[in-house]
């Protein structure tokens, strides 16, 4: 007997329910999870993998350290100090940013907010980039009529490409059909998992005892590999 177990999406779970499940599983509270989410763009990978590390950053500190103008060395320094057990409050985040912007702190007064100064540098950089883009567009000198003609040619359908796409779609459909046959009978499906079972010899349908055993093994595998999914798929439990 062969057992196949597939994980599915859980659209019935709202974001709030997922947060509550994660809080029970990991002990990380809602506000700490939001800090992980908000800091994902620039600091996300170290903090997302370690929610307890992310809990040592206050929200405003994460916002300041996540600015695009903040040097990478400043972010690494803040994570290093958080690993040592230090709580990264706003004042500490400002001092870390200022320490890693020596050329910036030398040109501004000591009472200037380092975040505002960094934002001004970022604005100047964006302005220079905009000017360079406009200069490149002006230097290209491409005629509008030629550009329109070029775009019209690109929109023309390619017969060979369409045939290749149809052939590929047909091959995918055939593969799905053969896979469904190899998987066997779907004995359970909910919003979390699908369970298929088939006999090895393919000569007879699975017995009731085999189906019961398959569900039991699938649920044990799910509890071991993904406990959150197992909470959602609790209907897999044979005793229920």
Model confidence over 177-230: pLDDT tens digits?
A: 665 556 666 776 665 567 777 666 656 666 777 777 777 777 777 676 666 555
Model confidence over 7-33: pLDDT tens digits?
A: 444 444 555 665 566 566 556 565 555
Residue 76 has a pLDDT of 84
Listed range (97-101, 123-127, 159-163, 164-168) with the worst mean pLDDT: 123-127
Residue 138 has a pLDDT of 45
The answer to whether the CB of 65 falls within 8 A of the CB of 43 is yes
- pTM confidence score: 0.31
Report angle CA 159, 164, 167 to the nearest 5 degrees.
125
- Structure tokens belonging to residue 169: 């779609």
C-alpha to C-alpha distance for 139 and 100, rounded to whole angstroms: 38
pLDDT at 92 over 60: yes
Q: What is the mean pLDDT of the chain?
A: 63
The answer to whether the CB of 184 falls within 8 A of the CB of 6 is no
What confidence category does residue 115 fall into, taking pLDDT thresholds of 50, 70 and 90?
A: low
Of 87, 22, 71, the closest CA to residue 232 belongs to 22
Greater model confidence, 141 or 62? 62
Buried b (16+ CB within 10 A) or exposed e, 169-179: eeeeeeeeeee
pLDDT at 83 over 60: yes
pLDDT at 95 over 60: yes
DSSP for residue 151: H
Strand, coil or helix: what is 78?
helix
pLDDT at 132 over 60: no
């Amino acid at each position: 007997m062969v057992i196949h177990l597939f994980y599915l999406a859980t659209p019935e779970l709202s974001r709030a329910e997922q947060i509550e499940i994660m809080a029970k599983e990991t002990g990380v509270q809602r506000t700490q999870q939001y800090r992980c989410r908000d800091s994902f763009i620039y600091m996300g990978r170290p903090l997302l993998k370690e929610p307890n590390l992310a809990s040592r950053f206050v929200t405003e500190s994460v916002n300041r350290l996540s600015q695009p103008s903040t040097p990478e060395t400043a972010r690494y320094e803040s994570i290093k100090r958080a690993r040592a057990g230090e709580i990264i409050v706003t004042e500490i985040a400002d001092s870390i940013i200022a320490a890693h912007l020596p050329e910036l702190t030398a040109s501004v007064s000591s009472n200037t907010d380092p975040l505002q100064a960094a934002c001004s540098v970022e604005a100047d950089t964006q302005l220079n980039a905009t000017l360079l883009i406009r200069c490149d567009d002006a230097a290209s000198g491409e005629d509008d009529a030629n550009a329109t003609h070029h775009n019209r040619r690109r929109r023309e359908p390619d017969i060979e490409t369409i045939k290749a796409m149809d052939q590929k779609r047909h091959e995918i459909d055939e593969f799905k059909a053969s896979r469904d046959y190899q998987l066997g009978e779907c004995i359970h499906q909910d919003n979390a998992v699908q369970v298929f079972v088939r006999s090895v010899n393919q000569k007879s349908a699975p017995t009731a005892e085999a189906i019961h055993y398959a569900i039991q093994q699938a649920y044990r595998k799910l509890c071991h590999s993904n406990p959150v999914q197992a909470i959602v798929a609790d209907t897999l439990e044979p005793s229920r």
